[in-house]
Amino acid sequence: MNQADLEVLISEKEIQAKVGELAETITRDYAGQDLLVVGILKGAFIFMADLVRHIRLPVTVDFMDMSSYGSSTRSSGEVRILKDLEKPIEGKHVLIVEDIVDTGLTLNYIAELLRNRSPKSVRICALLDKPSRRKVDIVPDYCGFTIPDHFVVGYGLDYNDQYRNFRDICIVPAEA
């Protein structure tokens, strides 16, 4: 698959404008506070790198890596921790940064896990939201774009670990 063969759902320009807006809101909401930004690997790495550079607060970053037992395009909701946070989060404001909320099972699991570690707060920032496929009641506190039920790649999102480097978010045809 070449990027030129795929339909662009959200252009690089639209993404960049939205990331700036999200960072503005986050900066306002956490004014005067320190923020720990937790990126969920691997899909959030590009979004997170852009987002934190626009946030004007004292920020630290950490990452978690989870594996889902689902197929490459469908989450099963069974989640295993491959990489945990490096430091305790007790008393900290935590912002989880995720590429996309689909069924919501992964984020629900991660948010619960982190809430049990006594942080001051836990909020979720997702670039994309596919609410039509939701299985648990979870709404991101900060959301870039609500999208229909397409499988998308680019800007960090993969299909079989490829296409993360596409600058736009593109739709993978159902037969791919």
CB of 31 to ligand 5GP, least distance (A): 29
The sheet that has 7-10: what strands, in order across it?
7-10, 169-172, 151-153
Q: Which is nearer to ligand 5GP, 22 or 126 (CB)?
A: 126
- Residues 101, 122, 125, 127: which binds ligand 5GP (CB under 6 A)? 101
- Residues 153, 155, 168, 170: which binds ligand 5GP (CB under 6 A)? 153
Under the binding rule (CB under 6 A), the answer on residue 75 touching ligand 5GP is yes
**Distance between CA atoms of residues 79 and 66, nearest Å:** 6
Structure tokens at 175: 């037969």
Q: Which of residues 107-136 bind ligand 5GP (CB under 6 A)?
A: 107
Could you confirm whether 50 is annotated as catalytic?
no
**Which residue stretch of 1-9, 16-24, 31-39, 155-163 sits at the interface with ligand 5GP (rule: CB under 6 A)?**
155-163
For residue 120, is the peptide bond before it cis, meaning its omega torsion is within 30 degrees of 0? no
Pick from 120, 170, 174: nearest CA to 10: 170
How many residues interact with ligand 5GP (rule CB under 6 A)?
A: 18
- Residues 96, 100, 111, 170: which binds ligand 5GP (CB under 6 A)? 100
**Distance between CA atoms of residues 74 and 78, nearest Å:** 11
Pick from 125, 134, 157, 102: nearest CA to 18: 125
CB of 27 to ligand 5GP, least distance (A): 25
Which residues participate in catalysis according to the annotation? 102
